[in-house]
Amino acid sequence: MRFEKIQNTCIPKVGFGTWRIGGEGLPDSKKDNDSLAALKSALSIGYRHFDTAESYAAGHAEELLGLAVQESGIPRGDLFITSKVSPDHLSYESVLSSFENSLKRLKMDYLDLYLIHWPRRGMNLADTFRALNQLVCDGRVRHLGVSNFKLKELREAVALSQSPLFTNQVSYSIPDRRMVENGLLDYCRQQSILITAYTPINHRNTRSSKTIQRIAETRGCTREQVALAWLVSQPGVITIPMSFNPQHQRENFQAADIQLTAEEMELLG
Contact 102, 111 (CB under 8 A): yes
Q: Which of 47, 56, 172, 198 is catalytic?
A: 56
3 state DSSP class of 235: coil
Q: Residue 244 carries which DSSP code?
A: S
Q: Is 143 annotated as a binding residue?
A: no
Contact 161, 132 (CB under 8 A): yes
Task: Establish whether 172 is a catalytic residue.
Answer: no
> What stretches of the chain adopt beta strand conformation (E)?
3-6, 9-12, 16-17, 49-51, 80-85, 111-116, 141-147, 167-171, 194-198, 237-239
Exposed, middle or buried by CB within 10 Å (0-12, 13-18, 19+), for 196?
A: buried
SS (H, E, C) 16-31: EECCECCECCCECHHH
Q: Which residue type is seen at 210?
A: K
Please list the active-site residues: 56
